[in-house]
Structure 1
Amino acid sequence: MQIEIIKRLEPLPGKISFYFENLDTGESIGYREHETMMAASVIKLFVMVSVFEGVERNSFPLDKMFEIKREECVPSCGALTYLHEQIQVTLMDLVTLMIIFSDNTATNVLIDFIGFDVINRTIVELGFERTVLNRKMFDLVSSKLGIQNYITAGEIGKLLKMMFEGTLVSRRASDTMLSIMKNQQLAGKIPFYLKAVSERLEIAHKTGEDIGISHDVGIIYGKVPFIVCFCGNETDTPRLERLMADISLELYQVLNK
């Protein structure tokens, strides 16, 4: 499988990285999994983790209320930008919207609330060396200056494994984060063919998109659960996304004979 997967990913233009891990055996497959990639919305997983770190320390509750101001709203992913002014939502609402709809406004409100320093300190303390949050979502000025957020497929795989094992923040926090990710509404990549196999198949995942960027990373809960992470920068996104769907289905079929 490793040789076959790499042979299919190598011809894609741009930067491509991939990580797979069988969560029963620990067997893994990697392709440039340590290469730093522009994160797009996958960085939102680390914002979520930082929220739950604060909740675990009793710094704030998940039912803390926020009033969304018009000046905080940014395009385009998500829902908050398109709802009425001064809508009130809870901290848990913001996290949920950030993950299942990739809501950029929710993400920026959370970054302002938690703080860049706290989020990046949490990333380092958890053992992630190449992941970093440098700017908010839809910050076009920073983006044009080359200021980006970064991840690696391997570090995302590590994050997901910690969630699966219940060691990310705590068992309760890990389970809550996974339950949010299982409600992901953007399902055109990893789950595309898998949901046709079984509508009840649980997939906890997070996508990321921008011009020339496409990611999808998650856990597929078959009889044998496994992690799969696809990351692409400066690539042909439709071709990559077709491979995400194809390879995810094939891995599931191999592990669930």
Structure 2
Amino acid sequence: MSLARVAAAAGRSAALPLVLSVSAIDLDATHGTGDTDRIGFHDEVVLPVASTAKLLLLAEIARRLDTGELHGDRTVDVLPEDHAGGTGLLGRLGRTGWTVEDLCWLTASVSDNTATNVLLRLVGRDATARLAERLTLRDLTLHDSVRDVRGPGVPPVFATGTARDLAHLVAHAARGTMVSAGASARLLRWMRANTDHALVPALVAHDPYASDFPAPTPGALLIANKTGTDTGVRADVGVLIGTRRLVYAVVAHWDTALGASTERAAVHALRDVGRTLADCAMPPGHV
């Protein structure tokens, strides 16, 4: 099934009062068969991408763990200025010291905002910018730490980027070319632990706990992803692995003054794209 179906699914959002940006890459496309290896739908539009940009931070940590610049068992203290509300567990737990690996698992699995801030303080935003440049991710940028309130004098959003850049970051990991094979595999393992499957994977038959990732048993579909939720933003980026490996990034952005109905429409649009991606990765009836 052609990725053109994914672009068509994205196009069904055209009448909605929102921007939907979609990028998909078929890692197993065979040129000369008529298949295309990637599609984009408004995928170069720079938008707020919320917590999906935490993947860039995790990629830099994975790179440093692979080179030995950082050690996974190093303990880092959580400082008062690191604390942020919203998603996460650290603000509800009693310990103040956590290993680097602990913080990465928390960031990837429950999008822990406090853990994110600790890791960002540890490596610095400049390091994430250098990695983005190295991977030719021109528009994916972490602007600030995660904050409960954004007032004057601070960036208006945590991060911005394009669906194209987010998809290419995950494609690097899936191909093993995100700096190194070891760093790539580590990032995918962290993504596999994500607990939020309410967007792109919501209507997709898959086992989020199957232990055979990234090589599913015949007839099975596996997903590793990272979501992002913020005011007027829903985003999801990841990889579906079935008979084909499809990398995707979907970002929806809208004016919150339009009310809850637009938010519901955005979530529906992401799920519709997800269902189409799954049909491409695992055609119905294929075993």
TM-score under structure 2 normalisation? 0.82
State whether structure 2 residue 40 is matched by structure 1 residue 20: no
Note if contact 1:135-1:142 (Cα within 8 Å) is conserved in structure 2.
no
What are the ranges of 5 or more consecutive residues in structure 1 without an aligned counterpart? none
Report what 2:140 is aligned to.
131
SS in 1 for 2:12: helix
In 1, distance between residues paired with 2:54 and 2:253?
A: 17
Note if contact 2:9-2:276 (Cα within 8 Å) is conserved in structure 1.
no
In 2, distance between residues paired with 1:102 and 1:192?
A: 18
Report what 1:247 is aligned to.
273
* 1:117-128 correspondence to structure 2 within 5 Å: 117-128=126-137
In 2, distance between residues paired with 1:225 and 1:240?
A: 25
In 1, distance between residues paired with 2:116 and 2:43?
A: 26
Note if contact 1:41-1:102 (Cα within 8 Å) is conserved in structure 2.
yes
- Higher fraction of helix: 1
Q: CA deviation at 1:251?
A: 2.6
In 2, distance between residues paired with 1:187 and 1:21?
A: 20
Of residues 44, 63, 82, the one that matches 2:73 is: 63
**Taking structure 1 as reference, are residues 43 and 3 closer, same or farther at Cα in structure 2, changes over 3 Å only?**
closer
Report what 2:238 is aligned to.
218
Residues matched between the structures, number: 255
Taking only the aligned residue pairs, the percentage that are identical comes to 24
In 1, distance between residues paired with 2:132 and 2:7?
A: 32
Report what 2:85 is aligned to.
75
Note if contact 2:207-2:222 (Cα within 8 Å) is conserved in structure 1.
no
SS in 2 for 1:172: helix
* 1:1-257 correspondence to structure 2 within 5 Å: 1=5, 4-25=8-29, 27-84=37-94, 86-138=95-147, 140-141=149-150, 146-148=155-157, 149-195=159-205, 200=210, 201-234=221-254, 236-257=262-283
SS in 2 for 1:81: helix
Q: CA deviation at 1:3?
A: 5.5
One-letter amino acid matched to 1:164: A
In 1, distance between residues paired with 2:10 and 2:226?
A: 22
**Taking structure 1 as reference, are residues 144 and 219 closer, same or farther at Cα in structure 2, changes over 3 Å only?**
farther
Note if contact 1:49-1:169 (Cα within 8 Å) is conserved in structure 2.
no
In 2, distance between residues paired with 1:254 and 1:116?
A: 36
Note if contact 1:66-1:88 (Cα within 8 Å) is conserved in structure 2.
yes
Root-mean-square deviation (CA), in Å?
A: 2.0
Note if contact 2:57-2:128 (Cα within 8 Å) is conserved in structure 1.
yes
What are the ranges of 5 or more consecutive residues in structure 2 without an aligned counterpart? 30-35, 211-220, 256-261
One-letter amino acid matched to 2:266: L
Q: CA deviation at 1:7?
A: 2.8
TM-score under structure 1 normalisation? 0.91
In 2, distance between residues paired with 1:228 and 1:126?
A: 17
**Taking structure 1 as reference, are residues 141 and 254 closer, same or farther at Cα in structure 2, changes over 3 Å only?**
closer
One-letter amino acid matched to 1:68: V
In 1, distance between residues paired with 2:87 and 2:61?
A: 20
